[in-house]
Each structure stands twice: as C-alpha cells, then as structure tokens.
Amino acid sequence: MSPADRFHTRAMQSTLDMKNMYRFVCLSLLALSALTAKMLGAEGPSARPKSAPKPEYPPYTEVMKGYKQVVSTIDQSPSLFGLFVNSKDNQILAAFPKKYRSKKFFIALTVASGEQYAGLQQADMYVYWKQIGKRMVLIQPNVAVRSTGDSESKRSVDRLFTDRVLADVPIVTMHPAWGPVIDLDAFLLGSGARFFGGSANGLKKQLAVVKTAMAFPQNIEVSFEVPVASGLLKAFHYSISEIKPNPAYRPRNADERIGYFYNGIQRSREIPGR
C-alpha cells in the first residue's frame, strides 16, 4: 500500500470514529433525559411544593394597623362588640362577638345636636345579624304580627310576615379573638337615611368626625358629627345593646298615662278575612 493510500485509510477511520462518538453522546443524553423524567414521575405531584392557598380575607394585623381598641371599663371587661378606632382618620372598625348569631340587639337612635329637639331619642330598632357570603346583613325580625293559635296558624304567620333586611356591609377581615370585622363608620353613616330618615338627608360621611366611641359589656355607644345637605353640622348617636331573653316578662296593655314608647302587636285571628 502506497503512503497516499495509507493516509486516506487513516482519514476514513478517524471520520468513522467521530461519528460513532457523536452517536454515543446523543444516545447517552437521551437515556439521561428519560431517566430524569421517570424519576420525576415517580415522585408524583404531591412531592412538588404547593403554593399556599389564598386567604379568604386580608390578615387582621394589616387591616387593623393604626387602630386602637376601645376599653371603657375600669376592670377592662370584654365589651359587647370590639371597637377599634383610628383617631387620625376618624375611622371605626367593629368586631362581632363569637356568638352573635344567637343574639338579638336593640339600636337606639338619637340626633344629639343640630336640631330643635336634639337629645330626644328619635327611633329604635330590634334587630339581629346574619352572615351571607362575605357580607354582614342587618335584619329586623317580624314582631308586629304573631299567632298564639294552632300550628297551622303559626306557620302561616311565619310564611306571610317575614323578616326585613335593613342594610348590609362587607366583612373586611376576621379577628381571631372575636369574629367578622366591619367598617362601622362607613356602615352607620352610609345608611344614615335608613336610620335617621330626613334628618340625615345629604349626609357627607367623608367629613364625619368621631365624637364618641365607648364599649361596655352590655352595649356600645358611638356618635359622629357630620354636615348634612344644608351644611348644618349634626351629631348622630347610635346606642347598640344586647336584648337578652326574659321568659318572666309579660307585656301589659297600653296606657297613655304610663310610659313613653309603645309597641303594637296584631294577632293573626284579628286580620280581616281570617
């Protein structure tokens, strides 16, 4: 074999060796990829880190930043509602008691200043609270019509004379020691006409100033000074207390010589046509 033929033979052998090496590297990479995929598949989805579920409400520590709890008793007894005030921004948050679902409340409404008869109680409401979704709903039960007759009569009254929704407000957060938390000033002032009628026409809640915020075991007292449509400054006072059941109580017939407020009750058998 001539030197030229030997050189040509070596060149061809070198080319074959490079092709074989390239094929080996490719097969090795494919095998490694398959092995990695198999290992990941064996671990399963549960082995992969899961993202934390999004909380239903913002953390109460963030929502209540800048607020200070109102304590109005010397012995620091727990209050009916938790009141938290931001004096700088004139904001009030209210935290519901844990057992609010089983409670009934009485709201006494008074225009405390800005009217000729200021200081006299203007209206009152007997209510309860219910959570629907992410909102708290203020409901007035039907107490005006009732039945003391048979079960069919009672069912008819329950079906025909239902409770009334007065207002609702979004839940801003959940407090671990209390329950749902609402923006109390936005609720009370935003529903001002619902509570005070014409006295609160054109109420400018963005200019409201907190005048009173007191929290006691059986009641809370809250008032705001705020201009109405005419520009006149008025103070609206809300007294919210718990009405506890009293089986021993027996109502008496109305007598104009005694008492100040009256509650009328209509019995189902007295409804015309029944």
pLDDT at 134: 95
Please tell me the distance from the alpha carbon of residue 118 to that of residue 199, in angstroms, as a whole number.
Answer: 11
For β-strands 266-267 and 145-146, DSSP reports them as: parallel
pLDDT at 42: 47
pLDDT at 274: 46
pLDDT at 34: 61
Question: Cα 240 to chain center, whole Å?
Answer: 18
pLDDT at 7: 43
CA dihedral (78, 79, 80, 84) in degrees, to 10, reads -120
pLDDT at 193: 87
DSSP β-bridge partners for residue 219: 241
261-264 long-range contacts, Cβ below 8 Å, gap at least 24? 261/124, 263/143, 264/144
Q: pLDDT digit of tens for each residue in the chain (274 aa)?
A: 555 455 444 545 555 455 556 565 555 656 556 655 555 554 555 555 667 778 889 999 999 999 999 999 999 899 999 999 999 999 999 999 999 999 999 999 999 999 998 999 999 999 999 999 999 999 999 888 877 777 887 788 888 889 999 999 999 999 999 999 999 999 999 988 889 999 999 999 999 999 999 999 999 999 999 999 999 999 999 999 999 888 888 777 777 777 656 666 666 555 554 4
pLDDT at 45: 53
